[in-house]
Chains A and B, each alone.
Chain A
Amino acid sequence: MARRYELNDASPVVVIGSGAGGATLANELAQEGIDVVCLEAGSRLTLADVENDPALMGERMGWNDPRVGAPVWLCKTVGGTTMRWSAITPRIQAHELKARTTYGALDDTTLIDWPLTLEELAPYYDKAEDKMGVTGTHGIPPSFETSCYKVLAAGGRKVGYREITSARTAINSVARDGRPGCLQIGFCHEGCKIGAKWSTLYTEIPKAEATDHFELRTNAMAQKIAHDAAGRATSVVYVDERGETHEQKARAVAVAGNVVETTRLLLSSASSLFPGGLGNSSGHVGRNYMRHVTSIIYSVMPGAVNFHKGTRQSGLIMDEQYHKPERGFAGGYFIETAGDYPESVAGTVGGWGKPVGDYLEAFNRLAGVFITGEDPPQAANRISLHPTERDRYGLPVPVLEYSMHRNSDALQRHAIQQTTAVFESIGGTDTRATRGVGPACHNMGVARMSARPDDGVTNRYGQTHDIPNLFVSDGSAFSSSGAANPTLTIVALAIRQADHIAERMRRTEL
């Protein structure tokens, strides 16, 4: 079905990664008649490979290569992290795109404004929501109200919140775009068994293949982006599943490896012309690494909830997303429902003995919340390459350094306090919250867009300031984190970037 390209054919755009950013960009380009080769480090699963088994799917699709530092939650599989995501899809707000202007110069941060406005982004949000089937948009009904949602909504209303919705989720509430409506299976993070949740594995990828302008190469681990003497990207070197090295020539290159891998590839591609790595004349590649402020919060309700029965995340309270400095911090956050299973509750509550055992005894009465909130960029929060350790591809092991800014700490405290009030307003007791740094499922900012080339890595289209035919197409390009779960914005930016690349190619500028 799909087209095949020769390695020495320099006409295709080479896209690295097949997740939210990479596959969306690839499909949008292919729909425009632009040839694309997509390199994916993982293999291609089918829905038959998806099972309601967290550990098995962690082996089958997780990115389990060695790393130093705080855990991240990447996937090495066609579809990338869109296989694992919860599919909550709020938009970034206008004031969040003007983070530096709105919040001022927060001490010890490297805050900047995005070099684009919400007016420019809004049409692409519309397209992204249509593409992904976001509930509550484009005439799509809201999502099913799970028990966890009903509990959160009741508590939220009781404490005076008004913006409470079971919409804003990229899981089909009804059959749409050749995919079925959600059956409330509950194992969203293990890959959606029926394809109701938007994942590029069964949306963007097959649609791109149908254009005859697209080739997907699986088990293809990119090692290096090569360039010519003029400093233009010319090819991508990758290793296949047999360990053989290949070099695909390219008209342009777009990197969408999810923040950790995007950093590693740009830095690993250092050359005599670009000794600090590609796109890194500013020194910002790998810097300003953001993870969102998160917390997982449980509370024991007076009666049965059974929060495992249904979509893992099925609705949210949006009232706290705004910038209200009187709360004692800059930026805002979302309070989102979160169902869970026993092993995960035990791990999140932590510890051992009666405090854990007794909590699990109340398993079917637990309600849960996942917080996601603004995390300002800091120069010291960064991803770099280990000086000596190498993985099985011979690539330097990534080193992740991250600590919470005090603004993030204050935001997290507030979010826990508010969520506790929500739960306890309807009789919740023994509310427990994770503090500090959680595992990052939202990774952002290591190749940020900036108006000034010395402030970041990419321009307002995700094109690197240094190399005109090298693009960044994932959350790495975020200038700041905002509060919203990042995938919708990644997809909107990728659609916009595809328009930009197509237009530049029409004008033969690329």
Chain B
Amino acid sequence: MRSADLDRRRFLVAAITLAGAGSGAFGPAGLRIGRAWAQGPLDSSTKETMVRMARLLFPHNAIGDDVYADVLDQAWASAAADASFAETLRQAEVALDGQGGTFVERDEASQVAALHAVERTAFFNPIHATVRSRFYNHPAVWEHLGYAGPSYAQGGYLNRGAGEVGDWLAEVK
């Protein structure tokens, strides 16, 4: 394996570990997109389960399933060199289906209960951290939340809203 691959893998491991420790605001910011597809598409039943899990982890009604599916595809593509990620997803599917029947066919309350039942298992944190990072960095999610993202190319926020607080502040002062 080339050293660049080794470095990337180290970084992935570090990012997952630290994200799992809850170091959000002042820690590393998670995983990145961009490795070639190398092990075929994600199994469709696994993907269906994971898309549902992703929505339950970070539910936003206005966000369509296509975005959650895209998040899974990105994670799958960038982890393609890492067989352990595929194994992690398969373990998750088996475990969730093991909580009282096929996961995707159950009602939401039952699905949430199944997730609670498995949230201390080894697969939960890596999936949680990966989905969190990719979902909250997805352009469709940024747009929905009103996060304007990178600003340097537009000259910063100095003349694009920095320092602007809604009228509400004058009313409560």
Q: Which residues of A contact B (CB under 8 A)?
A: 51-56, 58-59, 62, 64-66, 70-71, 73, 144-147, 150-151, 154, 157-158, 182-187, 189, 193-194, 294, 296, 301-306, 308-310, 338, 340-350, 352-354, 356-357, 360-361, 363-364, 368, 370, 426-427, 434, 438-439, 441
Q: In whole angstroms, how far apart are the Cα atoms of A294 and B25 in the complex?
A: 12
Contact partners of A58 in chain B: CB under 8 A: 11, 15, 28-29
Q: A-facing mask of B2-36, CB < 8 A → 1, else 0?
A: 00000010110011001101111111111110000
B155 CB to closest chain A CB, in angstroms?
6
Q: Using A64-B11, A343-B24, A438-B26 as known contacts, say yes or no to A353 and B112 having CB atoms under 8 A apart.
A: yes
Q: Using A55-B31, A342-B142, A343-B132 as known contacts, say yes or no to A154 and B169 having CB atoms under 8 A apart.
A: yes
Contact partners of B14 in chain A: CB under 8 A: 64, 66
B136 CB to closest chain A CB, in angstroms?
4
Contact partners of B8 in chain A: CB under 8 A: 59
In this complex, how many residues of chain B approach chain A with their Cβ under 8 Å: the count is 58
Contact partners of A349 in chain B: CB under 8 A: 24
B60 touches A55 (CB 8 A): no
Q: In whole angstroms, how far apart are the Cα atoms of A304 and B173 in the complex?
A: 15
B157 touches A361 (CB 8 A): no
A71 touches B166 (CB 8 A): no
Contact partners of A356 in chain B: CB under 8 A: 57-58
A185 touches B19 (CB 8 A): no
A13 CB to closest chain B CB, in angstroms?
32
Contact partners of B112 in chain A: CB under 8 A: 353
When the two chains form the complex, which single residue of B30, B160, B163 contacts A343, counting CB atoms closer than 8 Å?
A: B30
When the two chains form the complex, which single residue of A53, A146, A368, A426 contacts B169, counting CB atoms closer than 8 Å?
A: A426
When the two chains form the complex, which single residue of B10, B29, B160 contacts A344, counting CB atoms closer than 8 Å?
A: B29
Contact partners of A70 in chain B: CB under 8 A: 21
Contact partners of B147 in chain A: CB under 8 A: 308, 341-342, 363-364
A186 touches B156 (CB 8 A): yes
In residues 140-159 of chain B, which contact A (Cβ within 8 Å)?
A: 141-142, 145-152, 155-158
Contact partners of A65 in chain B: CB under 8 A: 10
In residues 118-151 of chain B, which contact A (Cβ within 8 Å)?
A: 119, 128, 132-133, 136-137, 141-142, 145-151
